[in-house]
Structure 1
Amino acid sequence: MSQTRADIAVIGGTGFYSFLEDPEEVRVETPYGDPSAPVAIGTVAGRRVAFLPRHGTSHEYAPHTIPYRANLWALRSLGVRQVLAPCAVGGLRPEVAPGDVVVPDQLVDRTYRRVPSYVEGGAVHLPFGDPYCDRLSAAVAGTADDVHRGGTMVIIEGPRFSTRAESRHYADQGWTLINMTGHPEAALAREMRQCYTPIALVTDMDAGAESGAGVGQAEVFARFKANLERLTGLLTDAIAALPDPDGCSCSTWADGLELTYSIPGEVPAPVFP
């Protein structure tokens, strides 16, 4: 396999660079502009893995300005078919607590300033009833006894945190986690016919879930940094256990459909009259 190809990608914070063996940076041009950063490709558990820092190498992209379409297209152009997405989340309900790792199975989109799709014309409607890959979720959840599987993650626009009333409203709906980056990342991965699952670290309880001043940025960053070694170990074990993506419904949903956007190496760019 070419050294600039990878089967698996991790989209996460810059602290994850260290888990790649002998990484090589690859700059990728996309029809949607530059991705958040050059893609680093190296080896993990004997497999070729691409890493892309979601917020850029110096955290220059706020959640609502991340070039999500460029990121997923760039990874697909390098051969990536499976995406693991570690992220920081707030907890909304008492069944989770700071320090927990959760693999959710549902999302609720509350964003409003982002381009959520590659579809810009024509009739292409993405099936998204189950937004995350069941195969990947099972592999991640099987890496450790303390990884929780299931729950709903609500994605808010950001960059501000929720008001206490908003947070309580989300909890009252039965939603488990709150995050700012999970959409449209998951939907775009599905449009690229990639398997995708988040790996959510609970860094805090959201403003409406506990008393006090509410969540702050320093608390979130400190909790995530303190758990980097644990998360990189989990990622390494998950990568070693990932199943063959062939035949997964994350890819086969588009079989027989005429897509109106390009998938690199698979579907050419459409030509409209």
Structure 2
Amino acid sequence: MNWLSDNVNALALLGAAVILILTVGVVGKYFKDIKEGKSEGKLKDENWDGIGEYKNNSPIGWSLAFMGTIIWGFWYWFVGYPLNAYSQIGEYNEEVAAHTARFESKWANPTQEDLMGMGEGVFLVQCSPCHGIDATGIEGKAGDLTKWGHKQGVIDTIKNGSKGLGFPMGEMPGGLVQDDAEIDAVAEYVASGLKGEGKGAEVFATYCASCHGPDGKGMGGMAPDLTQYGTHAFVSEVLKRGKIGGHIGTMPSFKGRLTPVQEKAVGIYILSLGE
């Protein structure tokens, strides 16, 4: 890029040149006046060892340069720079967008093997530092991801609750269902895709439907869609929202940090760990 072709940069150079010329001119004038004994102004009453100070006003050139710099600064930051100028951040964003487009084009139709390999790579870089290489949560310090998407994961959520997903309905408290047989039945019902009838469906209607809806779809985004449980879409939703839990702290949101195919890949890989 020829940065001199940018109007903002060109104007900045012009302003710098004007300030330099004014400074050289003013300094030259004062040196000349000093040499010729033409110092102007009145001395202040105070002096130090016979050395006094003149009550000179600010040089007009410097004053104009100072005011011009302030006006230029406001224009540059609020008008010129945001709209017209080159920036390293803008260039970086363009490069990231171009790379993302190439990446998505390359992996537009990945095989199951491709997704598993990609998911493992993302997991090892982004997830394993907290959840461990085996995804078991480093002895309880973080969530055990081998349970995600499976019956045991539902049981843990019923007993301990779920925090930090940010749904409008609020956080799910633990202990809503106390009876172990009922917990096992409703966990089986949710893990199987909310299919069939029986004790699990009855417990779900009693304790869960008020937030997740009778169909389990989350009442239009008010609560998690339990029909996605056990699918990569379920993992992607958690990745986008983040989560609170574990001694390590809050799991950040990965929204915008992973492409859709990467989210799908890491979801498929994580769900495979508990099989």
Please identify which structure carries the higher strand content. Answer: 1
Higher relative contact order, chain-length normalized (CA < 8 Å, sep 6+) = 1
Q: TM-score, normalised by structure 2?
A: 0.21
Please identify which structure carries the higher helix content. Answer: 2
Q: Which has the larger radius of gyration?
A: 2
Q: TM-score, normalised by structure 1?
A: 0.21
